Structure 1
Amino acid sequence: MDEAKLTAYLEQYIDGFHGPLTLKKFPGGQSNPTYLITAASGKYVLRSKPPGKLLKSAHAVDREYQVTKALGGTDVPVATPLHLCQDEDVIGNWFYVMKYMDGRIFWDPALPDFTPAERGALYLEMNRVLAAIHSVDLKSHGLQDYGKPGNYFARQIGRWTSQYKASETETIDEMEQLMAWVADHIPPDDGQVSLIHGDYRIDNLIFHPTRPEIIAVVDWELSTLGHPLADLAYQCMQWRMPSASLMRGLDGIDRAALGIPTEEEYVRAYAERRGLTGITHWPFYLAFSFFRLAAIVQGVMKRSLDGNASNARAQEVGRLARPLAVKALAILKEYNVL
C-alpha cells in the first residue's frame, strides 16, 4: 500500500486522524486482510477485501461496516467503525477503518494459561454475548433488511454449495454425501430469525485486558439475518474438533478438570438466556455448520492456489475440507440419523 496516499485520505475522512502512519498486518485470518495502523493520532485497524478475483458476495467489508455501525449502543460490544472506503484507487480495494481495541485475543479454546474458575467465567461471557447478538431488536437498529426473510437454511445450503463448487479443486466423496444430506433434512421453519454473526468463535472476540469481559466481537464478514441456532452450533463445533489440530478444538482434553463446560451445559445455558424450552434438530445444525465450514476452507484453498490468499498457511487450512466432511458424517451416525 502507498502509506502516504492512505494517510492523506484518512486525514480527510476521519476526524482527528493525523499521520504519518505505518501498517502492520495482523497474523491469522483466512479471508479479509486486517492491519494495525499506528499513526501520530493513535492506533486504528484497517480491514480490506483481499486482492485478486473474488467469489460473488464474498469479502463484504461494506456489510461488516454496516452491521458494526448499527450495533453501537446495543448490548453487543463492537469496535467502533470510523470510515468505509469504496474507492479502489486508495489502496487497490474496498476497506474500512475502525477503532483499535486494546484487549486480549485467545487462539486456543482450552485457555491453557488460566485457572478452571477463570476459564468458566470466560465461557459464560462468550455464552452471554452470543445470546445478546441473537436478542438485538432488528427494526429499532435498522437491521430488518440486513438479510432475506425465511428459508435461511435452504438459501445458505444453496449459497455454500455454489461457493464450494466454484472453489472445488478435487472431488471429495464425503462432501458430496454431506451436501446431499443437509439439503434433504432441513427442519421445518420454527420462525426464529435474528442477527447472526456467522463466525462466532473465541479468536473473533477481544476480551478486556484483565477481566472476563468481551469488549469487541470482530470479523462480521459472514453476518446476516438467519437462524440463531446456526450460530450456536457453529461455535459448538469446537467441542468436537481435536485439540491437537489446526482448528484448535476441545476434543480429547479433560474439559471438566479445566473448568470448561460440556457442549450440553453450554447449549443449556444459552437456551436459558434466550428463554428456549428445548432445542430440536441439533444433529442437523451441527452437520450444517461442518458443511458450511468445509465450503469456506475450500474457498481458502482455491484462493491459495490462485495466489491471493490472506494467510501463509492457506493450503494447510484448505486441506481441512475433507476431514470436516468426514467428521460431520460421523456425528450424523452418532445420532443415528444417517
Structure 2
Amino acid sequence: MSPDRPPGLDPDRLRGLLDRERPGLVDGPLSGRLIEGGRSNLTYAVTDGTSTWVVRRPPLGHVLATAHDMAREHRVISALHPTRVPVPRPLLLCEDPEVLGAPFYVMEFVEGTPYRTAEQLAPLGAERTRAAVLALVDTLVELHAVDPAAVGLTDFGRPEGFLDRQLRRWGKQLDASRNRELAGIDELHAALGRALPTSPAPAVVHGDYRLDNVLIDADDRITAILDWEMSTVGDPLTDLGLLVMYSLPLGAPDSPVSTTAEAAGHPAPAELIERYAARSGRDVSAVSWYTAFAWFKLAVILEGIHYRYTLGRTVGPGFDRIGGLVPVFIEHGLTTLQEG
C-alpha cells in the first residue's frame, strides 16, 4: 500500500463518488493520509493538491454493534453546524460499503491543533494552556445549551432511563471483547448501578469530550469539536464527568493514553466543575459518580481496542501497550466512586 493510499481508503473510488455526488468539488487526483491519534474510527486527510477534506470510516476489523455508526456522526454535525457549536461542515454521507469497504462521510478540513498531552501543551505556556482548557468548558456549556428539538435531534437518543441503559450497554460492550480476567471491573460496574444519580434535563451529549477531540487555532479559539461517534441525546453530566477524568493525573508513565492534567497552567478539576455549574446552571453534586463512570467506560473502550489488537486488526502505533492500561482505569474508577 503506497503512502498516499493508506489501508481503508481508496482515493480513486472516493474521487469517482465525489465527482458524481458533488461535481466540481474535486480538481485533480486524490491522495490521502491517515490522521494519527484516533484509537477507534479511522480519520483521513484527503487532498487534490489544492483543497483538503476529511474522511471518517469505521475501523478495519472487529466492530461492535452501534459503536461506529457513520450516519449518526454525520447527522449530529449536520444538525449542529448552523448553531454556535463549532463543528466541521459536512459534505457527503456514503452508506454503500462498496466504495471504501464500509460506510463513511466526508467533511471540510478545519485548521487547528488537537492537544493530546501535557508535553504538547508546554509550548503554549501556562496562561494559554489555562485559557484553552477553560474554553473547553465554555464550549461544552454551549453544546449542552442547544435544544435537541430545535435542531431536529428529538429522536437522536432516549433520555428516559439513560444512565441505566448506558451502564448496561457498556457492560455488553465489555462482554463482547472479554477474553481475559480483569480484576475489579465487574465490581465497578455493579457499584455504579447501585448508586445511579437522577439525570438533569436532556441535552446533546458528545460522549467523548476532551481536549484532544477539539481543534484549537493560533488565537487559542476552539475551531471544531471532532469525533462524534458516541454522541446522543441524554444526560449532559456524562460529558462533564469525562472532562473531569481527563483533567486528573493518570499515574501511568509511558502510557499510550494520557491526560493533560500535569500541564503548567491546567486548571484543577474543581475549577472546571465550578465553571460548568455556574455557566450552565446545572446541579453538579453527583459529579464523582459521573467521573467514576467515565473511568469505567474508558476501561471498556480500551479493552475493546486491546481485543482488536490481539486479533491483529489495528492500524497505527501504541496498541501493544493498551492492554496494560485497562487495570489502571478500573482502579481509578473504584477509588473515585468510594471517595465520592
**TM-score normalised by structure 2 residue count:** 0.92
1:261 equivalent in structure 2: 267
RMSD: 1.7
Contact 2:291 2:333 (8 Å CA) reproduced: yes
1:322 equivalent in structure 2: 327
1:48 equivalent in structure 2: 57
Change beyond 3 A, Cα 1:202–1:139: same
Query: 1:250, 1:89 → 2: CA distance?
Result: 40
Kindly state the Cα deviation for residue 296 of structure 1 after the two structures are TM-superposed: 0.7
Contact 1:109 1:202 (8 Å CA) reproduced: no
1:90 equivalent in structure 2: 99
Change beyond 3 A, Cα 1:141–1:272: same
Kindly state the Cα deviation for residue 41 of structure 1 after the two structures are TM-superposed: 5.0
Q: Is 2:311 the counterpart of 1:302?
A: no
1:333 equivalent in structure 2: 338
**TM-score normalised by structure 1 residue count:** 0.92
User: Can you list the C-alpha shifts for 1:15-35, whole angstroms capped at 9, x where unaligned?
Assistant: 422330101111111111111
Query: 2:11, 2:281 → 1: CA distance?
Result: 50
Kindly state the Cα deviation for residue 65 of structure 1 after the two structures are TM-superposed: 0.4
Kindly state the Cα deviation for residue 182 of structure 1 after the two structures are TM-superposed: 0.7
Contact 1:48 1:93 (8 Å CA) reproduced: yes
Of the three residues 131, 154, 157, the one matched with 1:121 is: 131
Seq. identity, %: 32
Change beyond 3 A, Cα 1:109–1:232: farther
1:136 equivalent in structure 2: 146
Contact 2:133 2:211 (8 Å CA) reproduced: no
Contact 2:112 2:216 (8 Å CA) reproduced: yes
Query: 1:280, 1:30 → 2: CA distance?
Result: 32
Q: Is 2:162 the counterpart of 1:152?
A: yes
Q: Amino acid of the residue matched to residue 188 of structure 2?
A: L
Query: 2:244, 2:284 → 1: CA distance?
Result: 14
Contact 2:148 2:233 (8 Å CA) reproduced: no
Q: Is 2:236 the counterpart of 1:228?
A: yes
Query: 2:60, 2:265 → 1: CA distance?
Result: 42
Q: Is 2:220 the counterpart of 1:215?
A: no
Query: 1:279, 1:8 → 2: CA distance?
Result: 50
Write out aligned runs for 1:171-186 (5 A): 171-186=181-196
Of the three residues 63, 86, 101, the one matched with 2:110 is: 101
Secondary structure in 2 matching 1:133: helix
- The gaps in structure 1 that reach 5 residues or longer are none
Query: 1:57, 1:118 → 2: CA distance?
Result: 38
